[in-house]
Structure formats: C-alpha cells, structure tokens
Amino acid sequence: MRSNKIIQYVLNQLYRYPKSKLQRLDKFGGYFEFRKMIRNQRLMKLKSLELLPIKSYNDGLPIYFLTGEKYLYQTLFCIQSLSKNSIQKFRYILVDDGSFNEDLVERIKRQLPDAGVVSKEEISKNIEKYLPETDYPKLRSKRREYPHIKKLTDIHTIKEDAWKIVLDSDMLFYGEPTDLITWLMHPEKSLHMIDCVEAYGYSRKLMETLSKTKIKEKINVGIIGLNSKKIDWNALEKWCSILEEKEGSSYYLEQALTAMLIGDAETCELLPESYIVNPETDQIFKGGGILHHYVDLSKKEYFNYAWKKFQNESR
C-alpha cells in the first residue's frame, strides 16, 4: 500500500501537476499572458484598498457573501459596482470562509461600515447545532476539503433571514438589478442565474434518480436565493455520499446539490442576456447586460481590464 502511494506521488510530481500547469497557461494564452493576468490581479488587490466606504444599512435588503482573505478585494469591488448602479439600501453580511483575522475584520469595518460579519466561531456553533458530525459525516467531511459547500452549510445554518441570497465575489454590476431587488423585497421562490453551459459535474440521470425530480438545465449559483428553512439536510447528506460514490468528486458539487434541491419547482430565473455568466471578450470591452460573472476564460479580462474600467468610471 505504501509503495502505491509513493508511485502515485511521483506520477503527480513528474507528470500530472506539470501537465495541469501547462494546460492552465495555455488556457490563458501562454506564459506571458498568464503572468500579465496575475500582475493585474495583484494590482486589483492593491487598488481595492483605495475603494471608498460603502455603508451597510441595518434596515436594508440582505445580501450574503462567503468571503475571506483571498477574496475580500473582489467582494468589495462587487459591492462597489452594485452601489454605483442602485440607490437601494442593502444590508451586507460577510460570512467567514475560515480565513478572517483581526486585520481583515477591521478592514471590513472601515470599508463596509455596519456590515454584518459572521465569524468562524459563530459558524462552528451553528454547524455543531444543526449539522452534528454523528448525523452528517459526509457534509462535515466535505466542509473540510471543499470550501464551495460552505455556501450551503455555513450560510443556511445562520438563523437570520429565512430567505437568503448569496452572491459570488467575482462579479461586477453594470446596471440596476431590478429583478434581484424585486425578489429581495418579496422572496417567494428560489432565484438563480442561467449558466452558459451546463456544469453540474454529475450525470443528469443520477441526479434525477436521487432527487426524484426533473433537474433544470444550466443552473448557475453565482447569484442564488434559497429558503434556509426548506433545505433538506438529510437529503443533501445522502446525495453527496452517493454522487461521489457513483461518479467521483467534482468541483461543481455545490451547484449540482443546489440544482437537486430546486428540482422542477418554479423559480425566478435571471435572464442570461442580462446576468451574463462567462462573458465573451467583446461583451467585456463593449459592455452590455446588468451583471457579468467572471468565470473560466473571462477571468483574464476581469483582471486585465474590467475592474480598471469600473474604477476609472467611478472617479
């Protein structure tokens, strides 16, 4: 057994990891283009320190972010872009992904006055209360190795706000999100984005067999609104175990589980031409749409161009 682990380690070091790195470089246009993107990502982090404070209102519409040391700069840019495009009052709740420290919390207080901060200590108490390891061993295990699932486990065990809308940080608003605001005022059914391609990481057949319902096409959880009180944690525990047992682990597990929770129920779908997932380069440069969600290849121009354009226009 030990010799097999050694062989696996050697293969990873000599072949799989280098190959993966080369594929990543090629994906973004080669070594020099990739390095340029990384430089601009670092610049974005630096410039986020200059963003003016955005007030969070205790009586505002609640918006949740799972964020932390690696992502706060993106969270702040996202919130800045929303504030620029709407006069609506919002209440921002930043949920610790496990990396909050004293300096980060002080920065949040400075740049997002009166924002809610849910600490890892508070989250741990909620998790122990609602998802004890004896009853939910798989979900607890996934929390430790797969941070994305915290958008379900850590946010929807917070007792406030039965209906919660969670935003990913890697997004910028370019217009007033009236659909989003209307939903926040009167949430009655789940809300989600529409993906550019279907990305569940698991076969539709298995997902539908487990959930005993039809699965909607191309749900994207960049913006996702769910009712915490209606989440079936027992089902999630079972689904998570069987999905991985039958078809392995997937980066898109959280998205698949969310699609299974929603099933064939009527939802509020954000129009894909307005809330754009993985915008094309032309869309990024020429504008269009209410929001861009910068995933996959669109990360390149998110770091190289989009945030700079937003910051320049905000001055």
Q: What is the pLDDT of residue 236?
A: 99
Cα atoms found within 13 Å of the Cα of residue 219, Cβ hemisphere only? 29
**pTM across the whole model:** 0.92
Select from 187, 182, 184, 166 the least CA-distant residue to 61.
Answer: 184
Report strand pairing: 61-67 vs 90-96.
parallel
pLDDT at 235: 99
pLDDT (tens digit per residue) in 62-119: 999 999 999 999 999 999 999 999 999 999 999 999 999 999 999 999 999 999 999 9
Pair 240, 255: CB distance under 8 Å: no
Q: Which helix (H) or strand (E) holds 166?
A: strand 163-167
pLDDT digits (tens, 9 = 90+) for 151-181: 999 999 999 999 999 999 999 999 999 999 9
* Cα separation, 12 vs 33, whole angstroms: 26
191-220 pLDDT, tens digit each:
999 999 999 999 999 999 999 999 999 999
Two structure tokens written together for 28: 């973004």
Strand 116-118 with 219-227, pairing: unpaired
Q: How confident is the model at residue 21 (pLDDT cuts 50, 70, 90)?
A: low
Q: What is the pLDDT of residue 12?
A: 52
Q: Do 150 and 66 contact (CB within 8 A), yes or no?
A: yes
Q: What is the pLDDT of residue 96?
A: 99
Q: Is beta strand 191-194 parallel, antiparallel or unpaired with respect to 171-173? A: unpaired
Give the single-character DSSP code of 216.
Answer: P
pLDDT surpassing 60 at residue 266: yes
Tokens of residue 267, six digits: 């939802």
Contact indicator for 161, 60 with CB cutoff of 8 Å: no
Report the top-level CATH class of 45-313: alpha beta
Contacts (Cβ under 8 Å, ≥6 apart) of 220: 192, 193, 194, 195, 199, 255, 277, 293
Q: How far apart are alpha carbons 314 and 229 in whole angstroms?
A: 39
Residue 285 scores a pLDDT above 70 = yes
270 and 178 in contact (C-beta within 8 Å)?
Answer: no
Instruction: Say which residue the tokens 């080369």 belong to.
Output: 22
Residues 140/127, Cβ–Cβ less than 8 Å: yes
CA distance 217 to 199: 9
For range 259-264, the mean pLDDT:
98
Domain boundaries of the chain, sorted by first residue: 45-313
**How many whole angstroms from its chain centre is CA 304?**
21
Task: Give the C-alpha separation, 301 to 289, whole Å.
Answer: 16
- φ, ψ at 64 (rounded to 5°): -105, 145
pLDDT reported for residue 15: 46
β partners of residue 92: 63
